[in-house]
Amino acid sequence: MTKKITISSIKKAKGVRPLVMITAYDALFARLLEPNSDMILVGDSLNMSFAGKNDTLSATLEQMLYHTNAVCNGAKNSFVICDMPFGTYTSKEEALKNCIRVFQETSADCVKIEGGVDKAEIIAHLVSNGIAVCGHIGLLPQSVRSEGGYKVKGKTEEERIQLIKDAQAVEAAGAFCMVIEGVKAEVASEVTACVNIPVIGIGAGSGVDGQVLVFSDMLGLFEEFTPKFVKKYLDGSALVKEAIKNYADEVISREFPQEIHTY
Ligand code: KIV
């Protein structure tokens, strides 16, 4: 996957092959993820795993611009999504002004907006002004304080109907794909079948058009908590701690540096 995927090929992948999305926050990891991902998401989850905050809400546009630039620099052939942080798309005008900054100050290919029916007008305004949008429905991390926690969606008939309406509104507004987070698997499959654009799941089962995971979760680097939907493909924190201990031991014993590390 060395050539950047286009919006048209992302749309065409629906029903043909699953799409791979992973988050990255810097050039170093973006470069490592690039060969095996269709899309790299600069998620505002960086506020938790990178900046050490309790939730995503205090992430700023300046932070997202900085990290999006870093990712674009590291993965020049990747399709990069910049997550619009909380409070930057409260009105059509505000959203357009902030998304224009993302497009002018980074090489991001699109932005991601949390919300469904309630954000459809804003998404349509962005799309009609040349901003490509990836939607985000279901569990919305930016609503964690107003909802009093991270609540899995699709458990009631009312939520099921709302999710379908949200997905259809996001599609009708012109988004080219959407993330669906924290939704009962059978409902996420139904939602996926109700729209013609790819639906990328996180904690939404396997009946969707692709998957996204936060890189620090799937590499086992984020120790604070592990959501049920995360599969750890590496015991990153144990490996890093072991390496650092080996280094510290060798510094203390003067085993490092050796001749080969010396000018
Ligand atoms: O911020 C993020 O990393 C996200 C993913 C959880 C989809 O929005």
pLDDT digits (tens, 9 = 90+) for 108-157: 999 999 999 999 999 999 999 999 999 999 999 999 999 999 999 999 99
pLDDT at 8 over 70: yes
Pocket mutation for ligand 1, best pick of 19, 45, 84, 215 (most atoms within 8 Å of C-beta): 45
Check residue 97 and give its pLDDT.
98
Per-residue pLDDT, averaged over 229-248, amounts to 98
Check residue 4 and give its pLDDT.
92
Check residue 223 and give its pLDDT.
86
Identify the band that residue 185 occupies on the pLDDT scale cut at 50, 70 and 90.
very high
Pocket of ligand 1 (CB under 6 A): 23, 41, 43-45, 83, 179, 181, 202, 212, 214
Pocket mutation for ligand 1, best pick of 50, 53, 112 (most atoms within 8 Å of C-beta): 112
Check residue 2 and give its pLDDT.
67
pLDDT at 1 over 80: no
pLDDT tens sequence across 22-81: 999 999 999 999 999 999 999 999 999 889 999 999 999 999 999 999 999 999 999 999
The closest residue, in CA terms, to atom 4 on ligand 1 is 43
pLDDT at 182 over 60: yes
pLDDT tens sequence across 147-175: 999 999 999 999 999 999 999 999 999 99
The closest residue, in CA terms, to atom 8 on ligand 1 is 43
Strand blocks (E) in the chain: 19-23, 39-42, 79-83, 110-114, 133-138, 177-181, 199-202, 210-213
Identify the band that residue 195 occupies on the pLDDT scale cut at 50, 70 and 90.
very high
Mean pLDDT of the chain: 97
Of 3.10.450.50, 3.20.20.60, 3.40.50.800, 3.40.50.1440, which CATH number belongs to 7-232? 3.20.20.60
What is the DSSP annotation of 199-243? Answer: EEEESS-SSSSEEEE-HHHHTT---S---TT---SS-HHHHHHHH
Annotated catalytic sites, by residue? Answer: 181
Domains in the chain: boundaries:
7-232, 235-263
Check residue 225 and give its pLDDT.
83
187 in Cβ contact with 194 (< 8 Å) = no
pTM summary value:
0.97
